[in-house]
Amino acid sequence: MKAAVYRGDSRIAVDDIPVPPIGPGELLIRVESCGICHTDLKKIEYNLLPPPRIFGHETAGVIVAAGEGVNQFRPGQRAAVFHHIPCGDCFYCARKLYAQCPVYKKVGVTAGFEPAGGGFSQFVRVMDWIARRGVVALPDHVSFDEASFIEPLNTCVKAVAIADPQPGDFVLIQGQGPIGLLFTMLMKLRGVRLAVTDTIPERLALGRKFGAEEAWNPREVNVVESMKRFAAGRGADFVIAATSVPGLVNEALAASRPGARILLFAQTSHQERLDLSGADICVGERTLFGSYSADVDQQAESARLVFSGEIPVKELISHRLPLNEIERGFALALHPDAQSLKIIVQPQRIF
């Protein structure tokens, strides 16, 4: 099969490698769609993990083989797959901090080499603990491209559930890339008063379309002053940092009211450092917290939101690329322009 293999030094090569064999309790999935996620881009750009690896974890496709003992799925079924599933029994699982579970931290989907998601390949092996609890069957009306959003949408649903914004709260979302726009859609369902920021006018227009009352370009507008005017002179009740650029968290603190909550969602690399005023947090009684990865308890809800169209994920797709154009996809995701948004790799297409 063909696979986009990370070879180190920020390089990807589309190579021929063996289709991964499966064992008892496992599944083999033919990958039809896999979204490009910024967490994988960071791993490649900053060489955070040793090569060789095959990344890609926003995966949807067709089950082509099922190992001995698999009863809930059969070849020919369409499915989306999560690459992390917790044990359910440890200290962290008991506290619903699933992303901190040692089993959750083990990647359970691979196309070969050290497991890393594997979705940027034509076939993936789904290991037994993922096959038991981390595979979602797809209805016929949902495309593979749409289904690839179930995992990233889950991460946003999880964060919103933790934050628990209330109707009428003033919320600021920094960044209107694919993740920021998913947050915008989810916040609209919560009935909040919403403002968003981005430097690309087309993304600001989408933010307004999906529910924002205010949409500001921070290169043109003083976001702190604008947010305070919007939010009854106080500032935001809740801020989501849905992108990662220097100074963003400082802006979030300044644009929020005393007692506000600020969610770091995109700050996923240890190379990203924050220099903050302790008094803004301590004296201002603000809460600064993080949310990372997916939540097994939110799988059904994230799938429902995609299947029902309540979150219209297909409107976020800007590019559908064959596997051999994956480097172009990475470049578009790292350096977005007016036309680029969510980029889907379709590994069965090789041109």
Write out pLDDT tens, residues 25-66. Answer: 999 999 999 999 988 998 998 888 999 999 999 999 999 999
Contact criterion met (CB below 8 Å) for 148 and 59: yes
Domain-embedded: residue 225: yes
Domain-embedded: residue 297: no
- 261 shares its domain with 170: yes
- 229 shares its domain with 159: yes
**DSSP of 266-323:** S---TT------HHHHHTTT-EEEE--S--GGGHHHHHHHHHHSSS-GGGGEEEEEEG
- 54 shares its domain with 87: yes
- 76 shares its domain with 187: no
Domain-embedded: residue 82: yes
- 204 shares its domain with 71: no
d(CA 126, CA 110): 7
Domain, as residue range, for 57: 2-149+311-346
- 286 shares its domain with 195: yes
Mean pLDDT of the chain: 96
User: In the chain, what percentage of residues exceed pLDDT 70?
Assistant: 100
Please name the residue ranges forming H helices in the chain: 38-45, 91-94, 102-105, 128-133, 144-147, 150-163, 178-190, 201-209, 223-230, 248-255, 278-282, 299-308, 326-334
What are 69-118's pLDDT values in tens digits? 999 999 999 999 999 999 999 999 999 999 999 999 999 999 999 999 99
Domain-embedded: residue 66: yes
- 110 shares its domain with 180: no
pTM comes to 0.97
- 165 shares its domain with 187: yes
Domain-embedded: residue 303: no
Domain-embedded: residue 295: no
